Structures are given as C-alpha cells and as structure tokens.
Amino acid sequence: MSKSVEFYFDFGSPATFLGYTQIPKIAERTGAELIWKPMLLGGVFKATGNSSPVLIPAKGKWMNRDLARWAKRYNTEIRFPAGFPLNTLPLMRGAVGYLREDEGLFHKYVDMIFRAIWQNEVDVRDQERFAALLTENGFDPGEFLVMIADPEVKEDLMKRTEEAVEKGIFGAPSFIIDGVLHFGQDRMDWVEDALSD
C-alpha cells in the first residue's frame, strides 16, 4: 500500500524551493501521494517563536553557500531575489485560491512562482512586473487580485497555517509521513526512505 507525504511550503523560503525541485520526483519514484500544504511561513514563525536564518548574519552567510552546494547536487540553479526576505502573503493566498479552484492551475502557478523568484530573478514586489508574469503564463491579473481578496481564501490560508502549527511545523520545507515530521530540504533522503518503507 502506497503512502502519502504532506508538503508544507511557502514561496519565500529558498530551502523550500530546493525541496520543491525534489519532492514530486520522490513521490513518483515511491508511488506516494503528494499532498500540497500551502501555509504562511511568517505566521508559523510568529506562532512558534522561530525566525528566518538570514536574520542571524553568520548563519545567513553559511546558509547561502550551503544552498548553492545543494542546488548543484540537485542539478538545478538558485538565485536570491531582490528584497529577500519576501512578504509572501499575496502569493500564498494565490496558491490557496488556485488549489481551491483548479488543481492544474495550482500546479502551474506554484511552478511559475517558485521559478520566477528563485531562478529567474523576477521582482514579485513590482506590481507591473508581477502582472506581466501572470499574463505571460496565461493567468488573468485582475482575476488574481479578486481571488486573493476573497475572505474565504484569506480565511483558508489562515486555517492552513494554524493547522501547520498544530502539527508541529516550525519552518519550511516540512514533510509529514505517517505522522512523523521531517524538516528541511537536506532531509530528502530520509523522506524517500520513509515513503519506501
């Protein structure tokens, strides 16, 4: 019987981007069901007393180099965006909105946002550039703004973030398999092992 893995993510985390490049492949190799769990990392940090590693200068310097090494191992690229760390509230509302609306649009949106931020150096804070990104990829910027202003979408993201905290999530990326939390993109081997048992 195949297992499932819950993937808790926020677009603003570089480690989560690297985890994102690996988890679909792992799920495919192991035959596991991948359950996408968008959450607001800032809300998780606030609730748990955690904070971004980049706020500690020595740790941030080390992390940037370490993430570059992991990107090379994963045969991908990572570039830090302008304005990092980012306010991802509208982006994560978008993820929740599309997840509620259409799974295909959700996956297209998630890939677009992750790659725009962490590989293509798109400044998502620039409203005109962000609107152009949406348009270039077949999304309607006006519909996007209406969707992320929907009270139900806002409430859904809040509830998902609260659920993450209740399950013991304190950062991203986080993976839950059989009730066990695996934290960090450097634990992908453990995630695959847990899904293969």
What span, in angstroms and rounded, lies between the C-alpha atoms of 56 and 52? 8
Average pLDDT value for residue range 127-154: 98
Average pLDDT value for residue range 17-43: 98
Residue 54, pLDDT > 80, answer: no
What is the model's pTM? 0.95
Higher model confidence: residue 44 or residue 52?
44
Residue 1, pLDDT > 90, answer: no
Contacts (Cβ under 8 Å, ≥6 apart) of 5: 23, 26, 27, 32, 33, 34, 35, 175, 176, 177, 191, 194, 195
CA atoms within 13 A on the CB side of 133: 23
At which residue do the structure tokens 């994102």 appear? 20
What span, in angstroms and rounded, lies between the C-alpha atoms of 41 and 6? 16
Model pLDDT, residue 58: 92
Give strand ranges (E) for 106-178.
174-177
Model confidence over 95-112: pLDDT tens digits?
999 999 999 999 999 999
Domains and CATH numbers, the chain: 4-196 (3.40.30.10)
Model confidence over 105-136: pLDDT tens digits?
999 999 999 999 999 999 999 999 999 999 99
